[in-house]
Each structure stands twice: as structure tokens, then as C-alpha cells.
């Protein structure tokens, strides 16, 4: 069964793309079949995966607007072990063009349905805004990983995102839920970090991942080399954090599925 997870936060600079790229590589290293969907017109996840966004012949824009078969657009990353549905500046026009299209909120979900069973995890790197592209990601996803820094204004933005997720779940995608809250750029020496972290645990409970991603120079350097941090410096704290996160995500899913009743036994 394919798990589709959107990595979202309408605030920029919180580590969404870093999380998407490094989580994809970490899951792939754990023998999971992974597709990274770059849904940000900046194309940063595409570039950080070693794919030149200026050289690609097709992008996710063609899938969403022109309904080009998704299999014709997906590209491999080589040693990083996962595949990418790339993006570039063309995606900027997609939101405007999609407004006049039928089923505009469900374009990504329809495209990903053609990949049923081909991947274990599909990770969607959302743009830093609550626009039509983000709505497409939420409609397509099973769950949302919210990447956020532990700072005051992050809590305000979180409230708006949660309302959007709840709205999508109530109207279009009933299976959508918050998969987890990931604390990024984490500095335990900062009292505000610990205060906000405590508030998150109080409100979201065990949906806050135990894994935290520390501030780490290697995580910031790796994208310029077009590889995930684990292939840039596997011993860095950032690389180890994302491997731990991948393990936590897999364990959570295994525990959840183990608790579900077997339909064959229901009488």
C-alpha cells in the first residue's frame, strides 16, 4: 500500500524541502520505494536531488495542466535511490491556468492514482503558501507532515494550516490527517524552543515526532552538491536525524496497520 505524505507549512524557510529530500533518501536507504513530488515552482527539491530544473523536458506542470502521463515525467536520482517528479518555474503558471480546469483540486490525486502499488512512499514538497498547488497536495495525500521551527510566529501559522487541513478533510479528502509535527532547526539551548516544543506536545500529543532535526551546517551545504545530506556527510547530526525520522515513520505505520482489524475475520 502506497503512503502519500505532504510536507507542508505556509511559512518559508522552515525546512520543508530539506525534510522532503533527506527523508526520501533515508526511506530509500531503508529499502522503501520512494517518489518525491516537487510541487514548489522554485524547484529546490529537484535541484537538491541532482536534477537540473533548467534542463528537464517535462515537469509536474505538464502533468497537472496538460495531463501528460506521470510515468513520462518521473526521473531517477541514481545513487540517492528515489525517483523525482520534477518542478521548475513553469509551475508558477499552473495555479492560474488550473482555475479554469475541471476538478482543479484533484489533478494531482488523479495523476498519482496511475502509480498505485509502484511506490511505498510518495512525498510531496509543498510550496510555502496555502494556494491551489498546496490544496492539490492535501487532496492527494493520506497525511501531512508539518515541518516547523519552535518559535512564536510558527504557532500562529500552524493554526491556519491546521484549519486548512481540517477543511480539506471535511469537504474533499476524508482520509486526510496530520501525520506528524516535525521540529526543525532545533536548538535545545534556546528557552523559546523548549517552551514551544512543550506547547506542541500539549496540543498534539504523540503526533509530535520524537525525532528532532538540529541546526546543522551539512544539511545546508548538501543541496549545492545536488545530493541528500546522507551522501554528503553520513555522519553528520542532520543525516542521522533524518534516518531516525524515517525509522520512526515506518514504525508508526507498521503499528497502525497491525492494530487494524482483519476484514476477513469480521463476522
110-132 pLDDT per residue, tens:
999 999 899 999 999 999 888 89
Cα–Cα distance between 151 and 194 in angstroms, integer?
Answer: 9
Please state, in angstroms and as integers, the Cα–Cα distance from residue 40 to each residue in 24, 43, 137, 202, following that order: 16, 6, 11, 32
pLDDT class for 262, splitting at 50, 70, 90? low
**Domain ranges, ordered by start, for the chain:** 3-265
Please state, in angstroms and as integers, the Cα–Cα distance from residue 121 to each residue in 24, 57, 108, 194, 237, following that order: 8, 25, 15, 31, 24
Q: Which residues pair with 208 in a beta bridge?
A: 181
pLDDT digits (tens, 9 = 90+) for 80-107: 999 999 999 999 998 889 988 889 999 9
DSSP per-residue string spanning 150-167: SSHHHHHHHHHHHHHHHH
Residue 258, pLDDT > 90, answer no
* 3-265, CATH topology level: Rossmann fold (3.40.50)
Residues 182, 224, 112, 25: is their CA dihedral positive or negative?
negative
State the virtual CA torsion across 58, 94, 179, 114 in degrees, nearest 10.
-50
pLDDT at 261: 65
pTM of this structure: 0.94
Residue 225, pLDDT > 80, answer yes
pLDDT at 118: 96
Q: Which residue has the higher pLDDT, 88 or 265?
A: 88
Amino acid at each position: 500500500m502506497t503512503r502519500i505524505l505532504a510536507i507542508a507549512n505556509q511559512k518559508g524557510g522552515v525546512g520543508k524541502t530539506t525534510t522532503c529530500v533527506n527523508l526520501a533518501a533515508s526511506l530509500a536507504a531503508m529499502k522503501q520505494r520512494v517518489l518525491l513530488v516537487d510541487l514548489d515552482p522554485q524547484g529546490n527539491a529537484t535541484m537538491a536531488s541532482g536534477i537540473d530544473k533548467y534542463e528537464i523536458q517535462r515537469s509536474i506542470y505538464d502533468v497537472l495542466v496538460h495531463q501528460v502521463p506521470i510515468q513520462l515525467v518521473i526521473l531517477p536520482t541514481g545513487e540517492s535511490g528515489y525517483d523525482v517528479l520534477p518542478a521548475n518555474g513553469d509551475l508558477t503558471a499552473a495555479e492560474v491556468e488550473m482555475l479554469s480546469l475541471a476538478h482543479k483540486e484533484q489533478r494531482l490525486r488523479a495523476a498519482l492514482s496511475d502509480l498505485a502499488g509502484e511506490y511505498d512512499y510518495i512525498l510531496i514538497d509543498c510550496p510555502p503558501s496555502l494556494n491551489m498547488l498546496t490544496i492539490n497536495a492535501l487532496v492527494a495525500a493520506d497525511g501531512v507532515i508539518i515541518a516547523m521551527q519552535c518559535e512564536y510566529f510558527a504557532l500562529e501559522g500552524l493554526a491556519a494550516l491546521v484549519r486548512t487541513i481540517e477543511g480539506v478533510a471535511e469537504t474533499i479528502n476524508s482520509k486526510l490527517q496530520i501525520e506528524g509535527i516535525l521540529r526543525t532547526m532545533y536548538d535545545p539551548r534556546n528557552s523559546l524552543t523548549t517552551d514551544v516544543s512543550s506547547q506542541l506536545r500539549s496540543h498534539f500529543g504523540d503526533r509530535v515526532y520524537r525525532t528532532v532535526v538540529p541546526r546543522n551546517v551539512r544539511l545546508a551545504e548538501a543541496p549545492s552538491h545536488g545530493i541528500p545530506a546522507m551522501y554528503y556527510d553520513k555522519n553528520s547530526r542532520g543525516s542521522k536525524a533524518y534516518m531516525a525520522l524515517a525509522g520512526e515513520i515506518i514504525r508508526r505505520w507498521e503499528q497502525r496497520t497491525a492494530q487494524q482489524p482483519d476484514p476477513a475475520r469480521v463476522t
